[in-house]
Structure 1
Amino acid sequence: MKSRSFLLPLTLTACAVAALTSHAEIRKWTSKAGTSLEAEMTGVDVAARTISLKKTDGSVITIPIDALTDADRDFAAAEWKKMQSAPAGAPAAPASAPAAAPKAATKGALPAPTGAPAPPRPALTITPVKGFKVPAAADYLRGVQKTRPRLIHAAAGWEYLKGQASSNPVAGKMLENLKAGGEKVLEAPELTRIFGEMRSTVTPGSKALFRMATLGALNFVDGDPRWKERGVRELIAITDPTVFTNWYVDEPEVLADFLIAASLGYDYFRDGLNEQQATAVRTYMVEKGIGALAAHLEGEPMPESARGRAPGTSASKAPAKGAAKKADGPEQPDVEHMAGAAALILAAICLADEEPSAAKTAVDAAAKMFGAGMQMFAPAGIWPEGMEAGETVLDYAIMVMQTLKANSGSDFGFSLLEGIPQAGLARVHLVGPTNQLFNYGDTNSTALSRAWVSTWLAGAHGNMGTKALTAGTAPGADTAHLNLAGHFMYFNPHAAGDGTPDSLDYTSPGALVAAHRTGWDKDALYIAVKGGDNSFVHNQLDLGAFVLDAGGTRWGIELGEESDRAPGFTSTDRNKRYELYVEGTAGQNTLWMEGNQEFDAKAAVVMAHSTPALAMSVIDLGKAYSKPAKDALRGVMITRGDKPQVLVQDEIGVKNNTHVVWTMHTRAEVSADGKKAVLTDKGRTLHATLLSPAQASFSVGEPPEPTNEQMKKLTGIRVLKVDLGTTKGDHTIAVAFALDEAPAEAPVKPIAEWAPKR
């Protein structure tokens, strides 16, 4: 696998890379087994106790520190000290972006750390997607340890965390809170089956995952025998066919959570099971977990054994719900696919020695899907289905990457694959000054909910700008997913300190999303805009949509989700779903051209520019409107300084007579008078000025009333509109926004002239 240094646009720092790599040297490294190689040290994973070595051919490998000779371990420790003391550098943009990101723009633009700063970010050698070799199925099983534990952490990893809990006050307090949460689990009954559809993220499967992770961490770090005793009981309960006939085989994420929970439980508490119990647990995992998830990923009928049917009952001949049909060929993985693939890989590593055939079945079904999905974060750390979906995928993927490192010292380069290091940066920039997420996509969430993902990303790539990790509070017995256990298991010095963002802007050519702000204070002006990929069946038709923050208020909002269970909705015919206002183009802050955007359209940033005075991004929406328009561009520009403002400008070439409407949804009160509009909310006012076209004016409307049970009533929502009526030809729609006073008016400049010529 070839690797190259990759300058992340407006993200990771070029100067820091140079400073660190200048201290490294190509030298001979020798293992305790006597093998050697020529390489330079490029990084350290403290929690996993591994180092990254760049060989003379440019490839990067990761090896356990404990596998080295004492002399090489001492040398690695000295190099790590140099890395930690190296100064952070200034951000740089690639050749495709005209200028470097600003270190500061206006007063208070970049936040000063409120506590101890995080260590300087390490040097990273990013592997571009085009140069990445996806691991084969068999690769996942080659390095599996013969001893337990082996999932997420091996024994050395748990010892490291035990040391952190003793020496670091935050880690120590976190362990106290985790123990308090563990006590609540001890007081609660074991999980039992709940009937009905699993419509939220808090399910029996996600609860089981939390319990197994919590009890396992406490077992290895605290050592009280009660944790193991309860862990064994919980494991037996969730694999008891009289309690759980199956693991909700028609709900792939719930099923995946159960299989991961059982895998953790079996790995962590195997020595607490007798052989009869161990055999029963493995049998259930293989039949109800591996068999069912493999059917989902491969588009096969659900096995009778996975459903727990009575003897003689025939299995369905239809593919498993949510599965890809084989005739369709390889498809883009979605959240459910990635959850299933991760669960299968973890189960395979758990059972590799005792159930080798089932382990092979699991990785054969998962490897290709997992590898394809990991590449979809490129180039800028954004999952195509949205930030909430991307966070879910990362949560599952991190468990796999951490487990691979714990076993062989290498995660096959996934953690340095283009898009994965940038994901931490996206999590910083796509949360606005109002502390609300740019929640595009089919979601009602306004915040990221799996903060332990940021904890791991900081440890893997350095802290991109998140606040220092706190000890949290004691979780309850019905908590879902890793939660506090995740923070503790991934605890690292980078997450324990305050990070400082390098730039006010997040943008680069090819990216799916761009974000710009005037500062990091709560009153800052902020705009985020998206391209994306409409071909994902769960995505909304929202290419070009934006959100807008100013003065502590989110003025331009996302409407959330309605339902992907609309009457007639299937993965091959989405027409019914996109009749729903919130799911179709009409319910987005974008252009509506007499109907929905194209179902298979894609859009990305085609131009990005940033200086201390202003920043801009341009998205090509031509494919979204390919039928009514010959071309379509959306540009956003933010002007910093004493009188900051935002400009949203659209340039469209309409082919034939078509009704065109520009829209922005808001919770504010809105009054419109010709080319001026005033939005009022919480005592603040946002002024909008329509700069172009000359004959157009603002109007104010409301979302439509629900016409069926699937549509939600949008109470308190107004729609600011620029309605061009039925028109054709070339048009420029330019709307400027400023807080508390009307934005300065200036001649409208074509988007092609926005960035200075080089």
Structure 2
Amino acid sequence: MTTAIVAGLAMQSAAQSSLSNFAANSASTLSPVSFTWGGTFVPANSGEVTAMGQMLPFGAPVRPHLTLNAQRITRINQLKNTDATMQTYYAGLIDHVDWLLLQPVYTVQNVDSRMSEERITALALAYRLTNNTAYAEKARQYLSTLVAMPDWRAEATVLHVLAEFTSAAAIGYDWIYDYLTPSERTALRNAIVNKGLNVALARYRSGSTQQWWTWSGLNIAMVCNSGFITGALAIRDTDPSVSSEVLAHAQKSLALAMASLNNDGGWIEHHGYWVYGVGRLIRGFDMLETSLGTDLGLDAGGFLSKTGLYKVLAGGRGPRGTACFDFGNTYPLNEGAPELYWLASKFGQAPLAAYQKTLHQDGQLIKPWDLIWYVPSTSGDLANLPKAGVFRNNAQFFARNSWSTVEPNAIAFKGGDNKANHNQPDIGHFLYESQGVRWFLDLGRTADQQPGPGGKFYRNSTLGHNTLRFNEGEQPSTAQASMIAFSNRDANQFGIIDGTQATGGAAALWKRGVALRGGSTVVVQDEWTAAPRTRVDWTAYTTATLEPGPGRKSVYMTKDGKTVTVAILYPPTVSFQVSSGYIKAPESPIPGLKKVTLMYRPTTIWNRMVVAIMPGRRALSDFNSVRQSFLDDWVNEANLP
């Protein structure tokens, strides 16, 4: 058996051997956390730059060495003959690059940073796997466009486009180095240094708070720093001083970003920006490790070992084109993430690999990085994924009844920080899907849209979310809500937040719990303390057809031939109202949008509201089996044998 195959099997064995990285089957209370990200970026001083240069090698490398190397090339070419998944990936790559051969190359006027990076990466990988110089030639043409550009479009305060161009050029330089002529290598290397890294260095050195990508600790920090790391590693043998200084600054900037993954690997900017930001971070880590044998100590806290489960639970599972649990102003589609293969291999988490593999079986796009990081897995590994998880550093909870189907019963629920990047005033917001239908949904991101009346987006308002409002008010932008209890026991999965700050002073206390019980019944329970007659509005949005049940104590929701029933269990004095969820132009409408509401003005100080949802068309008597208890008792009840 060859060395490459043995290495591959060793990764598979390691991945299958350790599930201890995932949370245990338990229920407990949680201490409130402080939602923080980023910090003060202090540029690396001359001593730190010198130390970086002395610590790391900068001799002529054996190319390629940026993630792709001889061992990985051999492994891919061997696995494509023995592993059905790799065969599919390989065929998909070749189909894609054959199509690219027929497409015109970007001009200087219409070049796109992200698409350039994707196309150069795919073509260069195909060249290394097949030795077909047609692929290298097409990649060279794309690289020539980058060299011909007068600059790489550095913006005033963020450099993600610059970083993507730098990464594209660096990958192409390293991966097709042997195909390029000496003069082409020089021109491309000079472009990486002068149009990419020197521009970045000027921004690093300024230490200006306007360069918020250096200190924010958010997705933009991960994208920028990882791109510049890739560029610095590509030219380290010829420009060691530039390389060392970039790495020294990037190390300090990324240390702030790594802290944003603290506690349990959740991501404050939600699923779509995990795919973009954390995905690029992992790519940068792999570049460092394959080139220098170190991650510069950036993951000393072990935060990356916890973050894969967040992407999995927030992404869910569904055919291509279906939505993730799209909180905030994030991308709505569930994108595959090849980085899950990298995490599976590095930390022995085979379920992550099984999940990524399953997404492709469900129709997700294959990326070059899938081939490079691929880890074999089995359906049994997928079954070992936790069905529920809580993430304290963004106060999010996810639960589902199964991973074996694309039509699970599933919930997502959040507290969090209203002022965080790509967040909205939506503490208490929940999403629900069953039978392949997203019954209660998010209204979507506002990118590329015009605001409605008053220059505001309905989608961005508290009223535009599935949560509770007090006195018809908007949640304060400064409000935060910690997850204070959770259970990931299969029979009783739930999260509970303390949303008091979100009431804007209208309530002395507000807690919300959302539960998935017995894998099918959803319970949304609110408890609050407020002055008598304080108005409370329960709101949720759907595109289903709505039919009020007897006495408006329930609502039948129907879509795509499927039905669920929503019922108010407490208090007995309120009834459902259904109405159009019309969104005013020019903000983009959602066809068929409707709103389900409950309005309550209790005469008591302490109050609660309990809503339950069951799949199918249900009589009110069917809900008698739903246990009603105080939120403070949910943890103890979940721990009962």
TM-score, reference length from structure 1: 0.70
Structure 1 contact 433–549 (Cα < 8 Å) conserved: no
- More divergent stretch after superposition (748-757 vs 289-298): 289-298
1:221: how far off? 2.4
Do structure 1's residue 693 and structure 2's residue 537 form an aligned pair?
Answer: no
**Any conservation in 1 of the 2:262–2:393 contact (CA below 8 Å)?**
no
Separation in 1 of the partners of 2:240 and 2:623?
69
Displacement, 1:390? 0.7
Structure 1 counterpart of 2:304: 420
Matched, 1:589 2:466: yes
**Aligned counterparts of 1:654 and 1:47: Cα–Cα separation in 2:** 65
Query: Aligned partners of 2:16 and 2:212: how far apart in 1?
Result: 50
In the other structure, the counterpart of 1:324 is 212
Distance apart, 1:727 and its partner CA: 7.8
What residue in structure 1 maps to residue 330 of structure 2? Answer: 443
Matched, 1:634 2:549: no
Q: What are the superposed Cα offsets for residues 189-219 of structure 1, whole Å, 9 maximum, x if unpaired?
A: 3222456xxxxxxx71122111221232223
2:594 to 718, 722, 725: 718
1:735 aligns with 2:623: no
User: Is 1:97 equivalent to 2:34 in the alignment?
Assistant: no
Q: Is the Cα–Cα contact under 8 Å of residues 394 and 417 in structure 2 kept in the other structure?
A: no
Q: 1:87 to 1:185 in 2, by over 3 A?
A: closer
Mark the CA change 1:298 to 1:624 in structure 2 (over 3 Å): closer, same or farther. Answer: farther
Question: 1:618 is paired with a residue of what secondary structure?
Answer: strand
Match of 2:86 among 148, 158, 171: 171
Correspondent of 2:153 among 234, 247, 272: 247
Indicate yes or no: 2:96 matched with 1:218: no
* 1:500 to 2:370 alignment: no
In the TM superposition, what are the counterparts of 1:37-56 in structure 2 within 5 Å? Answer: none
Residues 283 and 472 (structure 1), Cα distance of their counterparts in 2 relative to 1, 3 Å cut: same
Give the whole-Å Cα distance in 1 for the aligned partners of 2:152 and 2:394.
41
State the shift of 1:391 in Å: 0.9
Aligned 1:57-206 pairs, distance under 5 A: 93=24, 97=28, 138=49, 142-144=55-57, 146=59, 147=61, 148-194=63-109, 204-206=112-114
- What is the CA distance between 1:546 and its match in structure 2? 0.9
Decide which of 397, 400, 420 is 1:517's aligned counterpart: 400
Residue 608, structure 1, aligned to residue 486, structure 2: yes
The counterpart of 1:459, out of the listed 327, 338, 345, is: 345
Once the 2 structures are TM-superposed, how far is the Cα of residue 540 of structure 1 from its aligned partner? 1.8
- Of 403, 406, 430, the residue aligned with 2:314 is 430
State the Cα distance separating 1:401 from its structure 2 match: 1.2
Say which SS state the counterpart of residue 493 (structure 1) adopts. coil
Partner of 2:552: 674
Take 2:627 and 2:91, find their aligned partners in 1: how far apart are those partners? 61
**Relative to structure 1, is the Cα distance of residues 603 and 551 closer, same or farther in structure 2, using a 3 angstrom cutoff?**
same
Q: Does 1:532 align with 2:409?
A: no
Deviations 1:475-533 (A, max 9, x none): 9xxx9xx9531111212234899532343322366662212223343454221111222
Q: Secondary structure at the match of 2:350?
A: coil
Change (3 A) 1:715 1:183: closer
Maintained 8 Å contact 2:538/2:598: yes
Could you list the per-position Cα deviations for residues 427-457 of structure 1 after superposition, in whole angstroms to 9, with x for gaps in the alignment? Answer: 3323446664111121352322x43233333
Aligned residue number for residue 280 of structure 1: 187
- Tell me how far apart the structure 2 counterparts of residues 511 and 94 of structure 1 sit (CA, whole Å): 21
1: distance between equivalents of 2:416 and 2:236? 39
Q: 1:16 maps to which residue?
A: none
Q: Hey, what does 1:61 align to over in structure 2?
A: none
CA contact (8 A) 2:14 2:345 kept: no
In 2: Cα distance, 1:493 partner to 1:606 partner: 37
Deviates more, 1:90-99 or 1:502-511: 90-99
Quote the residue 1:312 is aligned against.
Answer: none
Shift of 1:367: 2.5
1:733 is displaced (CA, Å) by 1.7
CA contact (8 A) 1:382 1:419 kept: no
The aligned amino acid for 1:232 is: R
Q: Is contact 1:534-1:602 (8 Å) kept?
A: yes
Q: Which amino acid aligns with 1:587?
A: G
**2:287 matched to 1:403?**
yes
- Note closer, same or farther for the CA distance 1:350–1:523 as it changes in structure 2 (3 Å cut): closer
Matches within 5 A, 1:365-380: 365-380=249-264
Larger CA deviation: 275-284 vs 252-261: 275-284
Shift of 1:549: 1.3
Contact 1:296 1:324 in 2 (8 A): no
Evaluate the alpha carbon distance shift between residue 457 and residue 670 of structure 1 in structure 2; reply closer, same or farther with a 3 A threshold. Answer: same
Query: What's the CA shift for 1:413?
Result: 5.6
Q: 1:360 to 1:617 in 2, by over 3 A?
A: same
Matches within 5 A, 1:230-379: 230-241=138-149, 245-247=151-153, 249=155, 252-294=159-201, 323-324=211-212, 331-379=215-263
Q: What is the aligned-residue RMSD (CA, Å)?
A: 4.0
The separation in 2 between residues aligned to 1:145 and 1:159, in whole angstroms, is 25
Distance 2:5 2:514 in 1: 41
CA drift of 1:649 comes to 0.5
Aligned mates of 1:721, 1:583 — CA distance in 2: 18
2:34 is matched with which residue? Answer: none
Letter in 2 for 1:735: V
- The range that moved more, 330-339 or 554-563, is 330-339
Closer/same/farther in 2, CA of residues 164 and 683 from structure 1, 3 Å limit: closer
Give the aligned residue type for 2:372: M
Match of residue 4 from structure 1: none
Give the C-alpha shift of residue 723 in structure 1. 1.6
Q: Is the 8 A contact 1:659 1:727 kept in 2?
A: no
- Deviation of 1:167 (Å): 4.4
CA contact (8 A) 2:121 2:171 kept: yes
Task: Tell me if structure 2 keeps the 8 A contact 1:671–1:678.
Answer: yes
**Letter paired with 1:375:** A
Normalized per residue, the structure richer in helix is 2
Moved more, 661-670 or 542-551: 542-551
**Which residue type is aligned with residue 56 of structure 2?**
G
Name whichever of 389-398 and 507-516 sits farther off.
Answer: 507-516
Gapped regions of structure 2 (runs ≥ 5): 31-36
Q: Secondary structure at the match of 1:714?
A: coil
Q: Measure the CA separation in 2 of the matches of 1:616 and 1:515.
A: 8
For the Cα contact (< 8 Å) 2:351–2:384, is it kept in 1? yes
Task: Classify the secondary structure of the residue corresponding to 2:443.
Answer: coil
Aligned partner of 2:33 in structure 1 is none
Superposed CA offset, 1:375-408 (max 9, x none): 3233333211110111111221121111111123
What is the rounded CA distance, in whole Å, between the counterparts of 2:75 and 2:43 in structure 1? 29
Give the letter aligned to residue 93 of structure 1: A
Q: Give the Cα separation in 1 of the matches to 2:280 and 2:11.
A: 29
- Give the fraction of aligned pairs with identical amino acids, expressed as a percent: 23
Letter of the structure 1 residue corresponding to residue 141 of structure 2: R
2:264, 2:306 within 8 Å by CA — same for their partners in 1?
A: yes
What's 2:623 paired with?
Answer: 744
Report the alpha carbon displacement of residue 543 of structure 1 after superposing the two structures with TM.
Answer: 1.9
Q: 1:652 maps to which residue?
A: 528
Kept after mapping to 2: 8 A contact 1:299/1:324: no
**Counterparts of 1:299 and 1:426, CA distance in 2:** 35
The verdict on how the C-alpha distance between 1:696 and 1:497 changes in structure 2, with shifts beyond 3 A counting, is closer
